[in-house]
Amino acid sequence: MKTKRKSGKKKHTGSIIVLIIIAGVIPAGIYLYNEQKVPSTNEQWNTSGPFAINRNQYKLGENVFMVVTGLKPSDAGQFEIIDPKGGIFSTVPFNGTMKSSFNYFFKPNTERVEKLCKPTDLVGNWTIIFQGVSYKAIPFEVVNDWISGSQAEIKPIDPC
């Protein structure tokens, strides 16, 4: 009588291979998971009534995110984004009877306003002011530091 020892070896070999694969996949999965985590930056929201932007300071090439929640039906008007030179960069209407919440974002750039000709013209103190409601202005600053890869996006306008 012959015994089937080969099948036993195959079972053990297969189990060992599975364990080796699992031992490699688990650490790789943990590593990839940790790489995808965004580090917590203690964001301090800059608020005025139902309007809020996600930071007080931005780099060149960075989006400014505004979240509006809880507009009352009586809240109707517009907000203006004022650039460092005092010009109106953008105007956005709002009406609490139409929408009580919305999100808005913009990126300070040289394409929108002619007197902001160079990327360095974007550096300085910006303000979001409100018309038609009594909310205080929201100030923020754009600093002379670039987020990586954005130098190609914001170009000087010549002639200015």
pLDDT of residue 39 exceeding 70: no
Task: Read off the pLDDT band of 160 (50, 70, 90).
Answer: low
Is the same domain home to 1 and 50?
Answer: no
2 and 74 together in one domain: no
Q: Among 38-42, 64-68, 154-158, name the one with the lowest average pLDDT.
A: 38-42
Q: Are residues 33 and 54 in the same domain?
A: no
**What's the domain range around 22?**
1-37
The residue count of the chain comes to 160
Q: Is 138 in contact with 48 (CB distance < 8 Å)?
A: yes
pLDDT value of position 14 = 74
Total-model pTM? 0.69
Q: Which of 17-26, 42-51, 65-74, 89-98 has the lowest mean pLDDT?
A: 17-26
Asked whether residue 155 is assigned to any structural domain, the reply reads no
Question: Is residue 125 within 8 Å of residue 63, measured between CB atoms?
Answer: no
Task: Inform me whether the pLDDT recorded for 62 exceeds 60.
Answer: yes
DSSP at 134: -
CB 107 within 8 Å of CB 91: no
Do both 13 and 80 map to the same domain? no
What single DSSP character describes residue 3? -
**151 in a structural domain:** no
Does the pLDDT at position 7 exceed 70? no
Asked whether residue 152 is assigned to any structural domain, the reply reads no
**pLDDT tens column, 16-36:** 887 788 877 777 667 666 665
Q: What is the mean pLDDT of the chain?
A: 84
Q: Residue 153 domain-assigned?
A: no
Q: Which region, left, alpha or beta, applies to residue 77 given φ > 0 means left and ψ of -120 to 50 means alpha? A: left
Task: List all residues 6 or more positions away from 126 whose beta carbon is below 8 Å from its beta carbon.
Answer: 81, 82, 83, 84, 89, 108, 139, 140, 141, 142
Strand 124-131 versus strand 76-82 pairing type: antiparallel
Residue 160: inside a domain:
no
> Which pairs from 87-91 meet CB under 8 Å and 24+ separation?
87/113, 87/115, 87/116, 88/113, 89/113, 89/116, 89/126
Q: What percent of the chain has pLDDT over 70?
A: 78
Q: Are residues 85 and 105 located together in one domain of the fold?
A: yes
Within a domain: 1: yes
Do 25 and 64 belong together in one domain? no
pLDDT at 63: 94
Interval 123-159: pLDDT, tens = 999 999 999 999 999 999 999 998 887 776 777 777 6
Does residue 123 share a domain with residue 52?
Answer: yes
